[in-house]
Amino acid sequence: MTRVIEPQPGILDIALYQGGASHVPGVENVIKLSSNENPFGAPESAKAAFAKAAHNLHRYPNTDHYALRKAIADVHGLDPDCVICGVGSDEIITFLCQAYAGVGDEVIYTEHGFGMYKISAKAAGATPVCVPERERVVDVDAILAACTERTKLVFIANPANPTGTMIGQRDIARLAAGLPGQAILVLDGAYAEFVEGFDGGSALVEARDNVVMTRTFSKIYGLGGVRVGWGYGPREIIDVLNRVRGPFNLSEPQLAAAEAAVRDRDWVEKCREDNTRLRAWLAEALMELGVPSDTSCANFILARFTDQEEAEACDEFLKANGIIVRRVGGYGLPNCLRITVGDEASCRRVVHVIGQFMEQKR
Ligand code: PMP
């Protein structure tokens, strides 16, 4: 008989993260538009730096990440001592929950919020509290109304995933100012680079003592496979997070690739421009087919169908035609599909296939 060793309370309630599949059985050359990856791949500068750093593999990596923190700080005009680097921004989210939320504490996330907030809160023993959104937009008043003396962390992504919507700086500042004294506002800026001129919330971090911003190299920088993210916050909070960070959480190739990518501003600019142009084209072409979406500020759009049945049928049809998009029923959006903005050929192909789907339905 196998012995069942019980994990901590709450762990078995965590649903396994539903990542996007990357292949379709029997279909070659799939078009993957399910994980908001950069359709142009990683910049050459980062690939070269990664390869160059892949030596002395028997040595432990640098532990203070100074060169990467300095590069991030230079580019964004920040204080490198207030930057922390992790294995994707997922790890920064984990550090925040480990360090600030335990049994009896509450962690707020919103109705269509990114899945890791709930997973990390539960893994830390805390209670995730889901707050409704208003028409797929984060509702600051609803969050403030949900805060209690147990609220320790409030997570919002701006732009948000999977909705692609954003809330304004004034609302964010009002949220930060209205939180109870023991709570930290976490501004997840995984998609911030897609919004021209947007600082992701770093000015608010500097203006207050209760705001942390998280960022990633997985999206515009095209380094999803390398796994690097970072956080920016008040010195005291970053110091706390560094205490739970494993000393060798990032390898030299990871650090080098991210450093090269963040300094490659031409690449970022080109990717942002292409994304803005192709996103507008994609949204409009789908609208013409009778599939609306909210205005997206990120590198995906949330296509809305009549109901769950239609969304799922379209997903199956796309898959049969070699295109993988993301179902978002698990995010409370069963009648929607999230479609990453691909390169021009992928955008044209996905519109063509959805057009065929809508046609055969008639
Ligand atoms: N936040 C949001 C809103 C995301 O969409 C993602 C990735 N899908 C992440 C954080 C985590 O990204 P990573 O761990 O790759 O940095």
**All structural domains of the chain with their residue ranges:** 11-41+266-361, 44-264
Q: Is the pLDDT of residue 362 over 80?
A: no
ipTM over 0.95: yes
Q: Is the pLDDT of residue 178 over 90?
A: yes
Confidence label for 30 from pLDDT (cuts 50, 70 and 90): very high
Atom number in ligand 1 closest to CA 218: 15
Pocket test for ligand 1, best of 38, 84, 216, 217 (most atoms within 8 A of CB): 216
Reported as a single tens digit per residue, the pLDDT across 243-268 is: 999 999 999 999 999 999 999 999 99
Q: Is the pLDDT of residue 20 over 70?
A: no
Mean pLDDT score, 71-95: 98
Q: What is the structure's pLDDT at 272?
A: 98
User: Which protein residue's CA is at the shortest distance from atom 7 of ligand 1?
Assistant: 190
In the block, which residue shows the tokens 């993260």?
17
Atom number in ligand 1 closest to CA 35: 8
Atom number in ligand 1 closest to CA 191: 3
Confidence label for 39 from pLDDT (cuts 50, 70 and 90): very high
Mean pLDDT score, 120-141: 97
Ligand 1 binding pocket includes 90 (Cβ within 6 Å): yes
Ligand 1 binding pocket includes 113 (Cβ within 6 Å): no
Q: Is the pLDDT of residue 140 over 80?
A: yes
Q: What is the structure's pLDDT at 15?
A: 86
Give the length of the chain.
362
CATH architecture of residue range(s) 44-264: 3-Layer(aba) Sandwich (3.40)
Same fold, 11-41+266-361 and 44-264: no
Q: Is the pLDDT of residue 24 over 90?
A: no
Mean pLDDT score, 305-321: 97
Q: Which CATH class, in words, describes the domain spanning 11-41+266-361?
A: alpha beta
Reported as a single tens digit per residue, the pLDDT across 275-300 is: 999 999 999 999 999 999 999 999 99
User: From ligand 1's centre to the CA of 114, what distance in Å?
Assistant: 8
Are 117 and 161 within 8 A, CB to CB? no
Are 227 and 196 within 8 A, CB to CB? no
Atom number in ligand 1 closest to CA 227: 15
Q: Is the pLDDT of residue 114 over 80?
A: yes
Calpha distance 330→66 (Å, rounded): 38
Tokens of 213: 């911003």
Q: Is the pLDDT of residue 4 over 90?
A: no
Q: What is the structure's pLDDT at 26?
A: 75
Calpha distance 161→189 (Å, rounded): 10
User: From ligand 1's centre to the CA of 2, what distance in Å?
Assistant: 37
Write down the pTM of the prediction. Answer: 0.96
303 beta partners: 293, 337
Pairing outcome for strands 336-340 and 211-216: unpaired
Reported as a single tens digit per residue, the pLDDT across 208-233 is: 999 999 999 999 999 999 999 999 99
User: From ligand 1's centre to the CA of 89, what distance in Å?
Assistant: 6
